[in-house]
């Protein structure tokens, strides 16, 4: 009886809010406004744990995010991916798997919130999730209302088992349902880039996956039969041409990070720094309860994070390539720049960058490195030290599968 009443109240609230949107003609944007003004930061269970998840893992991870300094560095979303689901109840409300999540989602969200963190969940626009759990198709308003009631702060919404469903309709329906539910929930489109979500998702969602799944290698493609997963460089290369679609409140998502899951600290550094250069969401995918000092220090590097979180929100561009080495630039607020020198190859590379011979201009933002008008200090963000300036050519060795990232300030 009580549940039936709750159902009725949620349905009415959803319908009223939707009617209000229609009445005010607010069709330009469906997503909750003002969220994700910089790329979201947090953790997600999938890359390391897949379906082996439960309440203890989430609680231990939340504790580790606090004790390791991840939370204070900005990682606030604790996101539970696929496989948290049980069945729908008699009224059709989704329930967590009672064996894995015995305290229920509301209690878990409360406990995560008490630690100064936020809780995210995963669902799917089809009949079933990718791992075969109940999807949200036909239950969007009910699911959004349930998430809001539990205190959920982030929804990753996947694309398995959608048959002939139109992605714009499917994601718009959930966006409207989330907005109607009235809680600030970051909405993450996970459609793998197949129908160019960067074109249609900005009014609906705060971020959208641009590719298929990442995997923990530098430059591999792994076939899973009907789909592939991709190493860090493969995902990076698929971002070409997408920078113009991103900005405050709307981010390209090259997938959750494999920092700490790669073959070396250099690879993790390069992966992390390139995600920061791209203004990508920084969602850690490693086991943060058991990470090495190297991994912790990469993930909590405040100066690299500041590049990612820069308020201009303009992603980097590849300025030039010399064999295995790529030079990337990103304009930052207040006339600063970030520069990354990425060595994709398996050999150390000696490179020179002669500032007098270069003209670094961003054709998108029309910002230009003011050379030779100004001298910029070059601060190496992993060495955490000023390493010279633009008044003499940069001569550096970049180790194999590694990166050097600078901030340039006048």
Residue positions annotated with a catalytic role: 158, 213
Task: Determine which residue in the list 43, 46, 317, 329 makes contact with ligand GLA, applying CB under 6 A.
Answer: 46
Least separation, in Å, of the C-beta of 298 and ligand GLA?
22
Task: Determine which residue in the list 32, 64, 68, 81 makes contact with ligand GLA, applying CB under 6 A.
Answer: 81
- Please name the residues in contact with 331: beta carbons below 8 A apart, sequence gap of 6 or more: 312, 314, 337, 362, 365, 367
DSSP letter string, 200-231: HSTTT-SEEE-SS-B-SSSS-EEE-SS-EEE-
DSSP letter string, 364-401: TT--B--TTTS--EEEETTTTEEEEETTS-EEEEE-TT
Name the segment binding ligand GLA (CB under 6 A); options: 53-61, 128-136, 145-153, 171-179. Answer: 128-136
Q: How many residues bind ligand GLA (CB under 6 A)?
A: 10
Q: Where are the alpha helices (DSSP H) in 126-165?
A: 140-150
Between 81 and 362, name the residue whose CB sits nearer to ligand GLA.
81
Between 45 and 343, name the residue whose CB sits nearer to ligand GLA.
45
Taking the C-alpha atoms of residue 250 and residue 244, their distance in angstroms, rounded to an integer, is 11
Tally of helices (H runs) and strands (E runs) in the chain: 12, 20
- What letter would DSSP give residue 250? B
Closest listed residue to residue 42, CA positions, set 96, 121, 147, 150: 121
| Beta-carbon count within 10 A of 323 CB | 11
Name the segment binding ligand GLA (CB under 6 A); options: 109-117, 124-132, 311-319, 380-388. Answer: 124-132
Between 46 and 101, name the residue whose CB sits nearer to ligand GLA.
46
Taking the C-alpha atoms of residue 238 and residue 211, their distance in angstroms, rounded to an integer, is 7
Name the segment binding ligand GLA (CB under 6 A); options: 95-103, 122-130, 307-315, 401-409. Answer: 122-130
Between 261 and 390, name the residue whose CB sits nearer to ligand GLA.
261
Binding letters toward ligand GLA, positions 129-168, x by CB under 6 A? xxx--------------------------x----------
Task: Determine which residue in the list 41, 148, 185, 190 makes contact with ligand GLA, applying CB under 6 A.
Answer: 190
Residue 258 is a binding residue for ligand GLA (CB under 6 A): no
Tokens of 352: 């020179």
Least separation, in Å, of the C-beta of 213 and ligand GLA?
5
Q: Which is it for the CA torsion 19, 25, 31, 37, positive or negative?
A: negative
Between 129 and 210, name the residue whose CB sits nearer to ligand GLA.
129
By CB under 6 A, name the binding residues for ligand GLA.
46, 81-82, 122, 129-131, 158, 190, 213
């Amino acid at each position: 009886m009580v549940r039936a009443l709750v159902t009725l109240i949620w349905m009415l609230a959803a319908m009223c809010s939707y009617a209000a949107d229609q009445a005010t003609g607010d069709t330009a944007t469906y997503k909750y406004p003002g969220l994700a003004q910089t790329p979201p930061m947090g953790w997600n269970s999938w890359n390391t744990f897949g379906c082996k998840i439960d309440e203890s893992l989430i609680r231990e991870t939340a504790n580790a995010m606090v004790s390791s300094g991840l939370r204070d560095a900005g990682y606030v979303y604790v996101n539970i991916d696929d496989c948290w689901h049980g069945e729908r109840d008699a009224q059709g409300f989704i329930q967590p798997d009672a064996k894995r999540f015995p305290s229920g989602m509301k209690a878990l969200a409360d406990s995560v919130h008490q630690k100064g963190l936020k809780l995210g969940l995963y669902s799917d626009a089809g009949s079933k999730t990718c791992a075969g759990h109940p999807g949200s198709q036909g239950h969007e308003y009910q699911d959004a209302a349930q998430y809001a009631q539990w205190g959920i702060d982030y929804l990753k919404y996947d694309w398995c088992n959608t048959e002939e469903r139109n992605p714009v309709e499917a994601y718009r329906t959930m966006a409207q349902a989330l907005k109607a539910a009235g809680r600030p929930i970051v909405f993450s489109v996970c459609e793998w880039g197949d129908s160019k979500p960067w074109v249609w998702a900005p009014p609906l969602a705060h971020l959208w996956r641009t590719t298929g799944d990442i995997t923990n290698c530098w430059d591999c493609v792994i076939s899973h039969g009907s789909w592939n997963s991709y190493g860090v460089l493969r995902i990076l290369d698929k971002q070409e041409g997408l920078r113009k679609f991103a900005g405050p409140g709307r981010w390209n998502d090259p997938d959750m990070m494999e920092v700490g899951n790669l073959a070396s600290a250099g690879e993790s550094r390069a992966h992390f720094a390139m995600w920061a250069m791209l203004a990508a969401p920084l969602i850690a995918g490693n086991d943060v309860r058991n990470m090495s000092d190297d991994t912790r220090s990469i993930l909590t590097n405040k100066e690299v994070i500041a590049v990612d979180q820069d308020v201009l929100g303009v992603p980097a561009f590849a300025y030039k390539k010399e064999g295995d080495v790529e030079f990337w630039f990103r304009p930052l607020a207040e006339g600063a720049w970030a520069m990354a020198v990425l060595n994709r190859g398996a050999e150390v590379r000696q490179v020179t960058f002669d500032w007098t011979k270069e003209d670094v201009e961003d054709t998108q933002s029309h910002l230009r490195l003011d050379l030779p008008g100004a001298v910029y200090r070059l601060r190496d963000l992993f060495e955490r030290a000023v390493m010279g300036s633009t008044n003499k050519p940069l001569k550096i060795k970049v180790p194999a599968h590694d990166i050097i990232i600078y901030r340039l300030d006048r």
